[in-house]
Amino acid sequence: MAAQASDPNPVTQWVEQLHWPQTRRVARQKLVAARAVDCLLDCLQSTNESVVWAAVVSLGELRAPEAVEPLIDLLERGVLEMDVGESLAQITGKNAGTDARQWRSVLGSTAVANTLNVADCVSRTADYLGVEAVGSGESYRFKLPLPDGRAQKVALFFGRCDGEGHELVVIYSECGPASPKYYESVLRKNLSMPFGAFAVRDIDGTPNFVVVDTMAAAATTPGMLARKIEQIAAQADQVEKQLTQEDRR
């Protein structure tokens, strides 16, 4: 019997093992030893709170400065506040408890010092997806192949800012014309979506359903972005098929 080929990327296995209580501790230790900061940053977006906890604690142990902004974002969302506060203290050598605003005040500009390299991020995201990005500057588009020969376009916009001046990444995909009779059924899907949300936007003067999501640029990693693009493409295409039976978007 031929020996089973080993996974060329054990980090992927360790991240998967964070989901299970029996393997979580050892997997976390291995990720810390490997200094797998990018993967741990991706784990902060997990819907499994135990995976998020493992990432929070590990990033604190690694004293990873690129984790500061994503951790403050978790505080703003009320996620694992005590653990996040402790990790921020480990990384920065400061202590502002569990108050996100106080952390931003204490850290000042250092909290957003990790500037996103757009070209590198898009290139690495394209590698993860296996799809070429079209565009330049602050606007790109991916066309993702989907089951049954379908495809869906997903746009990325960089350089947008929120009301406090923090840079955002916007992910956007069109679904099709928005008839009021479908409003409730489509918008109810937001309750079960891990990423993004359906909304109604005017396109060339006509209401359309779209899926849109935003991320803090300083917290964006290629792996996280690729997962969101895949999820949004699938959700948007499902609604396009439901609304129009076409595959134009």
Domains of the chain: which residue ranges?
A: 10-112, 118-244
Q: How do beta strands 167-177 and 197-203 pair?
A: unpaired
CATH number of 118-244: 3.30.1460.10
Q: CA nearest 17: which of 9, 26, 6?
A: 26
H/E run at residue 128: helix 118-129
Return the SS3 of 161: strand
* Confidence (pLDDT) at 14: 92
The owner of tokens 């059924």 is 185
| CB 30, CB 14: distance < 8 Å | yes
What is the 3-class SS of 218-241, one letter each residue?
HHCCHHHHHHHHHHHHHHHHHHHH
Q: Which 8-state DSSP code applies to residue 7?
A: P
The CA-CA-CA angle for residues 202, 208, 209, to 5°, reads: 125
Q: Is 239 exposed, middle or buried (0-12, 13-18, 19+ CB in 10 A)?
A: buried
* Confidence (pLDDT) at 184: 81
Successive 10-residue mean pLDDT values, the chain, 249 residues: 54 91 89 90 89 92 89 87 90 86 75 68 88 90 90 91 82 86 80 78 85 82 84 88 69
Number of Cβ within a 10 Å radius of residue 16: 13
Q: CA nearest 69: which of 150, 152, 169, 148?
A: 169
φ, ψ of residue 227 to 5 degrees: the values are -65, -40
* Confidence (pLDDT) at 108: 72
* Confidence (pLDDT) at 114: 55
